[in-house]
Structures are given as C-alpha cells and as structure tokens.
C-alpha cells in the first residue's frame, strides 16, 4: 500500500509545535532533515550526545500518512490542530510501500577494520577473510539505532579496538561503550577478546538494538545495557565514547572517572577543527593523547594518568 508523504520546512524552535500537530492528525512517522544539507559550510549532526537532542537551525519535517488520505482534508485538519502554522507551504507526494530498513540493509556490504575485525550484515554471506580462525566477526542489524560501521567516526573506533586487540589490551578486559547506539563497538570488543562490556545510551531504542544484536552474536550474557541514570558506578580498563564533541567536553569529568588508572580511552564523533577543545578538556586526566583523522572526522585516544596533571 502506498503512503502519502507531507514535507514542510520549519525552524528548530518551531519543530516541536509542527511535530505535535502532525502526530495529532494521525502521522504514522515524522522524520527530520537538514534544510541546507548541500551547503558546504553546514555542520553535520551525527549522533546526539547522551541527554542531548541537537537539531539544525532550519530543517524539513517529513510525515507519512496512510495512502489515500486526501491532502486537502489533511491540510484542513492540520489548520484546525494549529492554525498558527502556515500549512499551505506543505508539499505532498505519494510514495510506494516498502520495508525501508530492509532496503537499506540490502545495500550494506561487509566491512573490514584493522587486521581482523569484520562487520557483516545478517543477510550477507561471510566474505573471504572473515572466515579465518582469528577473524572477529560482528553480524549486525543496525535497525533504527545508530551504528553500522559505515561512518568514519565508527570506523575510527573499530580500528582502535582492533589495534588494542593486537597488543593484548582487550584480553579479558571490561569495556564501556558510552553512547552505544547499535552496540557495534561493544560487540566488536567482545569478539576481539574482551571478557564483558557495558553499553550506555540515552535512547531506549538503542539499548533494545544493542541487546538484540548481542543475543544474535551469542554474547548477550557478557553485555549489559543501561540508560545514563542507571549506569552502575565502575571504572574500566577500556572506554570508548562515540558521541558529539560538545558532549565529550561536557562529560570529560564523567568519562575520565570511568577509566581506570593506566586504562585506555577513545573519543570520537569530533569534526575536524573541534579537536583542540576536546584535547584541552582531557589533558589533565590523560597522557599520550593522539589524534587520528578519517575524512572530516577525528578520533582522540589516550592513557589515563595515575594522578591528574597539575
């Protein structure tokens, strides 16, 4: 069955009001997109920080309605729901019914990171090399949560974990994946030799996706997931946080406290040009801070000091 798609431009301040009106008249789903996605100076919003929902200043809302819904009647209902919005600016089109998530996954190919880490979608056969005895293979169904390995920030973290496995730092270790999304980093750490992993995310849907992916990869008994307020107090020899730079800076003390003395941390989700602020926020608690760049994105990794620098 086809759907009726409505698209309308709005500002960040007006987004909640538009979304409430769309949902009140029966929108099946509402999604947001950058109104200036093609602008060269537009900053991408990749993954919200824990407790954050950052949005673009100007955006487009797209809502799906049941097929056959008359646009004129829908506009009348929207005007009644919120007559202060100019709904005449809305654009309509009919879209075919399809399993959007499956269509995306059908185009997703296996990826290799470092020496032996593989991310392979559920619907794909193992490629050459992924069937090697020492290969660490994560079978992933990202679902609606972030984290498939295709974005440079995730790739940088997977490469870092693969390097840690190579020098033995993951062997039998406990790993914290802060901002876990689909659980891809926690799962990779477990497949690479970690004894257990903890995933933290502010999105309950991400926790569901992480649990599901862990069970499918037969590591569910070694992984626990928590909302930020429910995270157990602990420190870890390995911590990875793939969130926004602003969140990394705001959470510097929190994340530093999660890393055991001599432990390792990787910070990602940082756009090129933002690294100096993040480095400054972590310099007192960490040494051997190193910067790695892939495309326009940065990873910072370091070692927890035994005592903070004065």
179 labeled binding residue:
yes
242 labeled binding residue:
yes
Q: Alpha helices, DSSP H only, in the chain?
A: 15-24, 71-81, 100-106, 152-166, 184-191, 204-216, 245-250, 252-258, 275-282
Q: Under a CB-based contact definition with an 8 Å cutoff, are residues 177 and 240 in contact?
A: yes
Q: How far apart are CA 208 and CA 263, in angstroms?
A: 28
- The three-state secondary structure class of 97 is coil
DSSP for 31-89, written as a single string: EEEETTTT-TTPPP--SPPTT-----SEEEEEEEEETT--HHHHHHHHHHH-TTS-GGG
Q: How far apart are CA 264 and CA 142, in angstroms?
A: 26
Q: Under a CB-based contact definition with an 8 Å cutoff, are residues 122 and 109 in contact?
A: no
Helix axes 71-81, 15-24, angle to 10 degrees: 120
Sorted by sequence, the CB contacts under 8 Å of residue 273 that are 6+ apart come out as: none
Known binding-site residue numbers: 154, 179, 201, 242
Known binding-site residue numbers for S-adenosyl-L-methionine: 154, 179, 201, 242
């Amino acid at each position: 069955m086809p759907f009726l798609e409505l698209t309308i431009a709005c500002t960040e301040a007006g987004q909640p009001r538009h979304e409430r009106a769309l949902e009140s008249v029966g929108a099946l789903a509402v999604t947001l997109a950058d109104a200036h996605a093609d602008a060269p100076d537009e900053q991408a919003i990749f993954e919200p920080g824990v407790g954050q929902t950052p949005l673009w200043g100007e955006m487009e809302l797209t809502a799906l309605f049941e097929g056959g819904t008359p646009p004129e009647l829908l506009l009348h209902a929207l005007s009644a729901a919120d007559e202060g919005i100019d709904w005449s600016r809305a654009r309509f089109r009919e879209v075919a019914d399809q399993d959007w998530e499956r269509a995306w996954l059908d185009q997703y190919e296996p990826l290799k990171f470092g020496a032996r880490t593989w991310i392979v979608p559920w619907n794909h056969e193992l490629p050459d090399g992924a069937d090697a005895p020492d290969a660490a293979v994560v079978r992933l169904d990202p679902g609606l949560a972030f984290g498939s390995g295709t974005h440079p920030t995730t790739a940088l973290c997977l490469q870092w974990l693969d390097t840690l496995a190579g020098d033995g730092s993951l062997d039998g270790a406990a790993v914290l994946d802060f901002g876990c999304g689909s659980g891809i980093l926690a799962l990779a750490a477990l497949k690479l030799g970690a004894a257990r992993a903890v995933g933290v995310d502010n999105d309950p849907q991400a926790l569901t996706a992480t649990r599901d992916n862990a069970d499918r990869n037969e590591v569910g008994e070694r992984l626990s997931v928590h909302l930020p307020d429910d995270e157990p107090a602990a420190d870890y020899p390995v911590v990875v946080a793939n969130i926004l730079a602003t969140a990394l800076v705001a959470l510097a003390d929190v994340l530093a406290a999660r890393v055991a003395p001599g432990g390792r941390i990787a910070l990602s989700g940082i756009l090129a040009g933002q690294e100096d602020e993040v480095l400054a926020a972590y310099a007192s608690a960490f040494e051997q801070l190193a910067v790695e760049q892939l495309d326009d994105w940065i990873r910072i990794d370091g070692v927890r000091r035994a005592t903070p620098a004065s």
